[in-house]
Structure 1
Amino acid sequence: MVDVTAEILLFDGFDELDAIGPYEVLENGAQAGASIETRLVTLEETDLVTASHDLRVEPQGTLGEPDLLLVPGGGWTAANEGVRAVVEDGVLPDVLDEQYAEGATVASVCTGAMILAEAGLLEGRPATTHQVAIDDLEESAANVVEERVVDDGDVLTAGGVTAGIDLALWLLEREFGAEIAEAVEEEMEHERRGEVFG
């Protein structure tokens, strides 16, 4: 039986590494003994999602009722693309708010934090994002913290792009212990930077 279900929510224009980095970390965690199942999902059924650098990804289904819902960033500084388009559309932020209200832990990588902010999940909470969106995040009433990973219990945020790998390693450590996280870190030849805030 799987203890934790994790879903990474894809949308057109997401940054590849924001999603695929954490996916690989969590999948490696499962192979190292963590009781976790990870899926790449979308809000609506689709054959392919096109990421910010034109990588085309086939999702593994649509959003279910995960224990952990992770949102990548990408496209915040471009009009009508990626996170900017998602925030302006408003549907995904509403879904995040509903998932959170139903008990899901919600996490973001990079400018995905702006989707959490639009959902009202970061108000008065410590949070971080990619440097290009720091000022916007401050304006959203989040308490901006300059760390790669910020853990506020049921809401976590990570800085730009590669910080998603650190976030996923921290989630493995938090949920399944340091031994599993360290095994994955060693396998992936990745050295975490900085301390987790929270």
Structure 2
Amino acid sequence: MTDAKRLGILAFEGFEELDAVGPYEVFGNARDRGADLTVELLATEDTDRVSAALGLTVEPDGRLSAADRLDYLLVPGGGWNDGSGTGTRALVADGVTLDALRRLHAAGTTLLGVCTGGMVLAEAGLLAGRPAVTHHGAMADLRETGADVVEARVVDDGDVLTCGGVTAGIDLALYLLEREFGTDLADAVASVMEYDRSEDVVGG
């Protein structure tokens, strides 16, 4: 019997709600339909609660620093485009999360950048020379990091996947589900969510 695939979703102060909750809905539905997958919210700090950009409060399941093995880690966006220094910009500024992302990626974790969560991956040096996309409001910033910017809804570069803004995270999650667990499961989840999948995927 193989171990369940372990997927973490990063929870930090100021994350964009739908960037995280949309994919969580996808992966949770997949798990309930038989996918051998665990899904957990991982905080970047030692805290019992994390407040998202629009006021949603979540209770994380654990801490990123304590995650010794992850098959996938999803980084949501939030706070990048307004230049306020909160959300993703705060993650980049403290450097600790960037170090954790580098460590996990080197250990074999597939990284998923949703919306401006892709900018966090880029600032960690993980997208240099690689095809990637982010929210349209941050495309110029992404280009400045040395990423090979692609106009697409979802970009699959093997062990790093990125997508456009906000709702594109649902498309990324459904695409990953199809890639790892099969088309039938991905289609079933999309159907129960009444979501029309985008076929605008580059790579894979």
The bucket for the TM-score relative to the shorter chain is over 0.9
Residues 1:135 and 2:140 aligned together: yes
CA deviations 1:136-182 (Å, max 9, x no partner) are: 00000000111111000000001000000000001110000000000
Secondary structure in structure 2 of the residue aligned to 1:73: coil
CA distance in 2, matches of 1:2, 1:62: 21
Q: 1:103 to 1:41 in 2, by over 3 A?
A: same
CA distance in 1, matches of 2:73, 2:198: 23
Identity in percent: 57
Residues 1:70 and 2:74 aligned together: yes
2:121 aligns with 116
Q: How does 1:46-61 map to 2 (within 5 A)?
A: 46-61=47-62
Q: Which of 161, 180, 184 is residue 179 of structure 1 equivalent to?
A: 184
1:2 CA displacement: 4.0
The alignment covers a number of residue pairs equal to 198
CA deviations 1:25-46 (Å, max 9, x no partner) are: 0010111221111001113331
CA distance in 2, matches of 1:27, 1:128: 25
TM-score normalised to the size of structure 1? 0.97
CA deviations 1:5-61 (Å, max 9, x no partner) are: 000011100000000110110010111221111001113331110100011111111
Residues 1:87 and 2:88 aligned together: no
1:112 CA displacement: 0.4
Secondary structure in structure 2 of the residue aligned to 1:191: coil
TM-score normalised to the size of structure 2? 0.94
1:106 CA displacement: 0.6
Amino acid of the residue matched to residue 162 of structure 2?
T
RMSD of aligned Cα (Å): 1.0
Amino acid of the residue matched to residue 71 of structure 1?
V
CA deviations 1:55-91 (Å, max 9, x no partner) are: 1111111121210011000000232211111112211
CA distance in 1, matches of 2:197, 2:144: 29
2:172 aligns with 167
User: Runs (4+) of structure 1 moved beyond 4 Å?
Assistant: none
1:194 CA displacement: 3.2
